[in-house]
Amino acid sequence: MKTTSRTVEGVEILSLQGKITIGSGDVQLRDLIAQCLNDGKTNILLDMSGVSTIDSSGIGELVGSFTTVTNRGGRLKLLHLPGKVSDLLQVTQLITVFEVHENEAAAVASFK
Amino acid sequence: MNPESEHIEITITSRFENIELVQVIAEHICECAGLDDDGSHWVGMAVREGVANAIKHGNRLDTRKRVFTTFDVKNSNLAIHIRDEGDGFDPEQVADPLSPINIMKTSGRGIFYMKTFMDEVDFSFPDGRGTELVMRKNLAGRNGADATD
């Protein structure tokens, strides 16, 4: 998994690209979130548009990231959810846990 | 590949990087048998989860142990057998990931996804031969649109 990050109006936007699967990307995501929190960046928007594959381990890391950020008083939201990732969140009812946005500006504004 | 009747075997060592190899074979078999891209993707996803469980929970990441996968296509019915060399487990003890007390857990969704995307999912425990997972899918007239209904 490759990632790029930028800050927009106090929101850390992490663009994830590639696979978030067992042994490839799952631990990376955990470390990435931990680094953001250590840097005091607690409003996090994950841009998922570049995610090509995700499995149950990747879904688990998304849940773990959400919990970690929430427990630190922050918020984690999702942007540009690919259809197949959305399907996996739907069938496990996790889609109700995450706030999902299709527009970056609206997503950033939602943190205010 | 003959879409009417085919038998394919692949044996891998217990490394996560080998999972995709088995997944790609599964997707290719489904495509050759006439399943559309989405349907093939979800079968590949179920295979990915089965092989990942065999490596992680069955063989406990022991690279000396192998995962044996066979694919059998006959009359548009696909049967997939995935066997590890571990100690087995009790399927009755697998928690329901949709239960409110489990929904925020970071693991425990693999078998649920397999059951969602395949027609049948069964486990058996041949004496001293680890866990054998059997998944079946009727490939005739199916497409990906109903995979998550």
Q: How many domains does chain B have?
A: 1
What CATH number should be reported for the domain holding residue A85? 3.30.750.24
A11 pLDDT higher than 80: yes
Candidate from A23, A59, A66 with C-beta closest to B109: A59
pLDDT tens digits, B87-96: 988 888 899 9
- Domain extent, residue A49, equals 2-109
pLDDT tens digits, A41-79: 999 999 999 999 999 999 999 999 999 999 999 999 999
Residue B149 included in any domain? no
Alpha carbon B60 to chain centroid distance?
17
> What pLDDT is stored for residue B3 in this prediction?
65
Closest approach of chain A CAs to the CA of B123, in angstroms? 19
What CATH number should be reported for the domain holding residue B12? 3.30.565.10
Q: Could you tell me which residues are beta bridge partners of residue A47?
A: A15, A79
Between CA B100 and CA A79 the distance in angstroms is 25
Q: How many domains does chain A have?
A: 1
Nearest CA in chain A to B42: A84
H helical segments located in chain B: 19-32, 37-53, 110-117
Candidate from B45, B106, B112 with C-beta closest to A92: B112
**In this complex, how many residue pairs, one in chain A and one in chain B, have their CB atoms less than 8 Å apart?**
59
Give the other-Cβ count within 10 Å of A45's Cβ: 24
Residue B90 included in any domain? yes
- Domain extent, residue B59, equals 5-143
Residue type present at position A38: N
The predicted complex's ipTM stands at 0.92
Residue B148 included in any domain? no
B83 pLDDT higher than 50: yes
B21 pLDDT higher than 90: yes
B142 touches chain A (CB under 8 A): no
